[in-house]
Amino acid sequence: MSARPLPDPAALACPLPIADYPHVLLAHGGGGRLSQQLIEGLFGPAFANPALDERHDGAVLALEGGRLAVTTDAFVVSPRFFPGGDIGSLAVHGTVNDLAMCGATPLALTVSFVLEEGLEMAELERIVRSMAGAARAAGVPIVAGDTKVVDRGKGDGVFVTTTGLGRVPAGVDVAPRRARPGDRVLVSGGIAQHGVAILSVREGLEFDGGIVSDSAPLHGLVASLLAGAGPPHVHVLRDPTRGGVASALGEIAQAARVGIRIDEAAIPIAEPVRAACEILGLDPLYVANEGRCLAIVASEAADAALAALRAHPQGAGAAAIGEVVSAHPGALVMRSRVGGERLVDLLTGEPLPRIC
Amino acid sequence: MCLAIPGRLQSIDDGDAMLRSGIVDFSGIRKQVCLAYVPEARVGDYVLVHVGFAIGRLDEAEARRVFELLDRLGELGELESPPPTGAAP
Amino acid sequence: MKYLDEYRDAAGVERLLAAIRARARRPWTLMEICGGQTHTLVRSGLDRMLPEAITLVHGPGCPVCVTPLEQIDRAIAIARRPGVILASFGDMLRVPGSGTDLLAEKARGADVRMVYSPLDAVRLARRHPDREVVFFAVGFETTAPANAMAVREAARLALPNFSILCSHVRVPPAMEALLSTPGNRVQAFLAAGHVCTVMGWHEYPEIARRHHVPIVVTGFEPLDLLQGVLLAVAQLEEGRAEVENAYARSVRFEGNGPAQAVIAEVFEVCDRRWRGVGEIPASGWRLKPAYAAYDAERRYAVGGVTARESPLCIAGEVLTGRRRPRECPAFGRECTPERPLGAPMVSSEGACAAYFRYGRIA
């Protein structure tokens, strides 16, 4: 089964062939259109299979006696250490969360390191200890691993890849295709925190605001949500990492061929995070989160779902931000604070601070 | 033209008048800003910051103008002619 | 955030919209100069809330959009040199030159660094005395004081390894040129509030008088923009052609004296080519001879750059308001944000990008 081309909401954009890019660009890893092109144009057709075609964060495989979720992710964040975390804790949380977004209980992680020759051992130790701490706190063991070293100059210090396995409880069926008109869209807390925390320590942009990455494991929160709302009513889960809330919801809208509408005024964001975005000219909808969860739930269970999120320490700031509609299928539309409407497109390249 | 954001001048550094700088607070974000172009600014004032420079000070009284206009619009209902708000030289 | 949030009040927006609807009896075409204003209008959906009678045309108010192709090609040529650190504002990194852009060059190994302030580029030069730091100094009058200060500071420190590639543009000559263009449809201007914060508005009465066109100095938030539109429409309905300052919380008639002084010390007026528009006399700034040592164009002899504009790109017509992005045959087809043919599609508030990202709902 080959990959189908992405439905384009306004039928204006023409998907371009991969051959147009002789070199890998940063944007190919940005989580937006170019990343999608790589998936749709290269990986999808090459690896084609029903599980991959779900286009979800992890693959759920039927097994004798249950269903297994499996996912993998590489972590290349720079700077490697930032307020609220580091590449190690991020690698643990990120993969645990991709399992959680399948509705799975994480069982185990594996890790692969690609290290650049010349990396300080003390730094590696710091990263490894952080990973161990994060894994212990999350209750998920790292059960296998691999290490490779590349020549000096051939790698950016450390690249970490984690693969996760989880068990999907009976009755849980979480996937973009389950989004239905009438469903409500919830977010578990204030957005854009991780991306802003990273920027605050990036050379040339330093600012002081005490903003700390929200990087955290979400499987406990998800379990509470499933219990509170009832598993059949939780249709889609997604953690809005690179590309932010806009990319996550945009992708779901396209995969499920539904329209999604959100209300700018309803989207929670901490004041200093908002201020940082204003100063840099960034749209918070496109800024990465690492400890937040989007949930698309059946309308009859929305109140219970929101209550369940808010009852959990990681979901204290949860809010209902929108709904799934049958209008404009494939498109995410936002109602602005002043009442106007605009299309929220998929990210093009990295969000860059602007002066104008 | 362009992105300039208002913030509250929190502190002024000692030093050279031309490169006079200070800390501006934007709802919890603090950034060092060059104050060379707002020599009249005092701690507590609001300044407009563009690419790390304060390019002007915000006038509290003038800031209320558009709200006075809105009040008048609310009273008028059907608008005849909006009162001029242009500042004369 | 004080002085920001109050100007985003939904009820106030409704009230101003109602006033505009009541006031506009005939169709009018207005232009907002500044890209930042375009950004707010389109991102908040305001432009689609205005009555049908009002046509808002997005003007050439994006320094990214109007930076000549040759300057981008020069920046790329300089960035490719070994030992050079090319420092730039974020906006410029994705603007296409004749074949490539700075971000793509970074992927190929050029040392291209994004900075928030021009002074950060000076700091880079101090921290890396073994490297040549070149700062891509673009912008309108709003950014000129900052760029001028960076050069002044480099001179004061006698930094041998710092220079700027200058591409400054000035608004009033652009307005004149636009108003003098045959086929010009613009009947009133919303002038750029932050340019005027620096330069004041004393240059505008002459323009308003000579071309009989209302000019309202306008801010950047929804209430500011709608107030600007309302005042412009009122003038048009009454046959007036005056300059009004609707951003008086930030703009004074004479502007910012100290900033203008430093600009005058470092820069002098020159002719400039605007991408897609052509040469506009006296519309740019270049470094004064006293600061020639800090001019990257001289230091790196990157003359002889032949810029190749795409024949499909109608940026000039879009920037002067003669055609709307949607009327361009290449819009959304050969020209998209990932594969822009001209800068208005790349800059975050270039007219074409704004429509592509925000406006494509039926």
Distance CA C274, CA C65 (A): 8
Distance from the B64 Cα atom to the nearest Cα atom in chain A, whole angstroms: 19
Name the C residues in 220-249 with CB < 8 Å from any B CB.
223-224, 227, 230-231, 234, 238, 242-246, 248-249
The verdict on a CB contact (< 8 Å) between C4 and B3 is no
The verdict on a CB contact (< 8 Å) between B31 and A278 is no
E strands in chain C: 28-32, 54-58, 84-88, 111-114, 132-139, 162-169, 188-192, 215-218, 243-245, 267-274, 278-287
| Other Cβ atoms within 10 Å of A120 Cβ, number | 9
CATH 3.40.50.150 fits A58-168, yes or no: no
Q: What is the CATH number of domain B5-76?
A: 2.30.30.140
Count helices and strands (H / E) in chain C: 16, 11
**C129: amino acid identity, one letter:** P
Q: Are B65 and A242 in contact (CB under 8 A)?
A: no
Name, in order, each residue with C-beta under 8 angstroms of B36's C-beta and a sequence gap of 6 or more: B17, B18, B19, B20, B53, C149, C258, C262
- In words, the CATH class of domain A176-343 is alpha beta
Q: Which residue has the higher pLDDT, C246 or C43?
A: C246
Q: Are B4 and C140 in contact (CB under 8 A)?
A: no
Q: How many CB pairs under 8 A join A and B?
A: 39
On whether any CB of chain C is under 8 Å from the CB of B82, the answer is yes
State residue A3's pLDDT score: 41
pLDDT at A56 over 60: yes
Span A60-65, mean pLDDT? 73
Q: For CATH 3.90.650.10, list the domain ranges present in chain A.
A: 176-343
The verdict on a CB contact (< 8 Å) between C117 and B51 is yes
The verdict on a CB contact (< 8 Å) between A208 and B31 is yes
ipTM for the assembly? 0.91
**C152: amino acid identity, one letter:** R
**C55: amino acid identity, one letter:** T
Least confident segment among A2-6, A228-232, B82-86: A2-6
State residue A47's pLDDT score: 59
Q: For CATH 3.30.1330.10, list the domain ranges present in chain A.
A: 58-168
Least confident segment among A280-294, B2-16, B40-54: B2-16
Distance CA C362, CA A28 (A): 29
Tokens, residue C279: 């040469």
Cβ-based contacts of B81 with chain C (< 8 Å): 234, 238
pLDDT at C362 over 70: no
Encode pLDDT of C231-267 as tens digits. Answer: 999 999 999 999 999 999 999 999 999 999 999 999 9
Name, in order, each residue with C-beta under 8 angstroms of B80's C-beta and a sequence gap of 6 or more: none
Sign of CA dihedral A30, A32, A38, A39: positive
The reported pTM is 0.88
Count helices and strands (H / E) in chain A: 10, 14
On whether any CB of chain A is under 8 Å from the CB of B49, the answer is yes
Of A271, A328, A338, the CB nearest to C222: A338
pLDDT at C319 over 80: no
Q: Which of A18, A277, A356 should we substitute to test contact with C (largest number of C Cβ atoms within 10 Å)?
A: A356
Cβ-based contacts of A33 with chain C (< 8 Å): 338
Distance CA C168, CA C288 (A): 13
pLDDT at C361 over 70: no
Structural domain spans, chain B: 5-76
Span A212-233, mean pLDDT? 97
Name, in order, each residue with C-beta under 8 angstroms of A64's C-beta and a sequence gap of 6 or more: none
pLDDT at B39 over 80: yes
Name, in order, each residue with C-beta under 8 angstroms of A349's C-beta and a sequence gap of 6 or more: A25, A26, A27, A30, A32, A34, C94, C103, C337, C338
| Other Cβ atoms within 10 Å of C359 Cβ, number | 17
Span C28-42, mean pLDDT? 90
Distance CA C34, CA C31 (A): 9
What Cα–Cα distance (Å) separates residue A82 from each residue in A89, A197, C343?
11, 7, 34
Distance CA A349, CA B16 (A): 41
State residue A12's pLDDT score: 33
Of C1, C46, C361, the CB nearest to A328: C361
Residue C279: helix, strand or coil by DSSP? strand
A: neighbours with 3+ CB pairs under 8 Å? B, C
On whether any CB of chain C is under 8 Å from the CB of A208, the answer is no
Q: Which residue has the higher pLDDT, A199 or B78?
A: A199
Band of residue A16 on the pLDDT scale cut at 50, 70, 90: very low
Q: Are A219 and A105 in contact (CB under 8 A)?
A: yes
Q: Which residue has the higher pLDDT, B85 or C88?
A: C88
Name, in order, each residue with C-beta under 8 angstroms of B87's C-beta and a sequence gap of 6 or more: B62, C245, C248, C252, C253
Q: Are C353 and C337 in contact (CB under 8 A)?
A: yes
- Helix C118-127 × helix C144-156 angle, to 10°: 20
Name the A residues in 278-337 with CB < 8 Å from any C CB.
278, 280-281, 283, 328, 331, 333, 335-337
State residue C70's pLDDT score: 87
Least confident segment among A321-335, B35-49, C23-37, C291-305: C291-305
What Cα–Cα distance (Å) separates residue C291 from each residue in C79, C126, C299?
22, 18, 12
Span B7-13, mean pLDDT? 96
Q: Which domains does chain C have, with CATH numbers?
A: 17-62+186-193+200-242 (3.40.50.11750), 64-170+255-300 (3.40.50.11740), 315-357 (no CATH)
The verdict on a CB contact (< 8 Å) between B85 and C244 is yes
Encode pLDDT of C160-185 as tens digits. Answer: 999 999 999 999 999 998 898 888 88
